[in-house]
Each structure stands twice: as C-alpha cells, then as structure tokens.
Amino acid sequence: MKFCSKCGAAVERRIPEGEDRERWVCSACATIHYENPRMVVGCIVEQGGHILLCKRAIEPRHGYWTVPAGFLEIGESAVQGAVRETYEEAGARVQVIAPYAHFDIPHIGQAYIFYRARMLAPEISAGTESLEVKWAEPADIPWAELAFPVVRIALELHTQEAKTSSYHMHTGILARDEASRYVLREHLALPLFHA
C-alpha cells in the first residue's frame, strides 16, 4: 500500500496508538488501513466414490488441478460462496452436506473453508476459470499436479476417511517445515457422522 484510500496522501507503517502491531497509517488524515486474512471457500464434491476436480485456467498455478474453490465475496455466507464457486468453476449444482475443514495459512493471510457436497444435477462443465473438469477416483487423483498444498492435505484426509465413511471436521494451521514442505500443525479432527 502506498496511498490512503480516504484522502490520497502517502501511508506509512507504524503502530497506531492503542494497537499492538504495525499497520498502514495515513500520514495526513491518520486513517488506519487494516489488512485482514482473505477467506477461500470451496467444496469437495463426492459422487460414487469419485471427487470433482478442476484444472485451473488462471494464475496462480495455471494448468494444475484443484477442487472448486475461490475467494468469499462480501454479502454471502461461507456456504453460499462455496456453492457459487463450485458452479462457476465446474458447472456443478451442489448441496453442502457437512463442513469438512478449516485451515489457516497465516504467513500468506488466507483461511480455507472446505465443505463436503453432493450433486443436485448430473451436469458438470468447465467454467471460465477452469481448463477442464473431471471425476477422479482417489487412486487417480493427480497428486503431483495439485495446485495448492492445502488442497492436497484436504484430499489426503478425505481419501482416508472415505474408506470407512467416517468423516471429521478438521481444523489446523498450514506451515512450512525445515525442508520448506507444507505440514498441518495444531490439527484437530472432530467426529461428525457416518455417511
């Protein structure tokens, strides 16, 4: 950030009075510009032992696979955003059946919320942000071609739980280990139900 959105003057990093961390503060009008984590919402859509995947048509990670997900919009709930993103990216009309995971990635200022979902209609089609969409059995998921570590971790957990149809609500923090690999820390797995 370089300029104040309120008055146009230059901003600077400093700790405002009454705060405990640096913020962008306007040098002229003293407006504090808060930066908050961005919410990413999406669905793990299941059908007959298969998972719905999308190949990304946009950066970052153009050409890599993911589950349908994207940034939450102002004015919608997390569930509404996940359903919207699934339709926009995969042409899939879905119903959320359960929460699945909430993973924080503090160092990039993002939080991911994934839901388990089922199809309401059989059609799928690549949206403008997808090169293609497909159904994949767990053994056929292109693990080495997944776009984001958070998606890989969610799908690894889901694949294990799908074997017994015993699902959990997962929470945790994604962080890098000594080898710069993403690992799930402070992981909690709360039992939901058998489906």
Say whether both 130 and 93 belong to one domain.
yes
Question: Is residue 157 domain-shared with residue 111, that is, in the same domain?
Answer: yes
pLDDT digits (tens, 9 = 90+) for 29-66: 999 999 888 999 999 999 999 999 999 999 999 999 99
One domain for residues 30 and 48: no
Indicate which CATH number applies to the domain containing 169.
3.90.79.10
Q: Supply the CATH number for residue 31's domain.
A: 2.20.70.10
CB-based contact 66:53 (threshold 8 Å): yes
Q: Which domain holds residue 169?
A: 38-194
pTM: 0.88
Is the same domain home to 86 and 25?
no
Is there a single domain that holds both residue 92 and residue 170?
Answer: yes
User: Does the pLDDT of residue 114 top 70, yes or no?
Assistant: yes
Cβ(54)–Cβ(67) below 8 Å: yes
Bridge partners, 23 (sequence order): 14
Of 43, 39, 50, 91, nearest to 68 by C-alpha is 43
Count the residues in the chain. Answer: 195
**Same domain flag for 46 and 12:** no
Note whether 161 and 92 are within 8 A (CB).
Answer: no
Is residue 176 scored above 90 in pLDDT?
Answer: yes
Name the domain count of the chain: 2
Do 84 and 152 fall within a single domain? yes
Q: Looking at the structure, do residues 86 and 53 belong to the same domain, yes or no?
A: yes
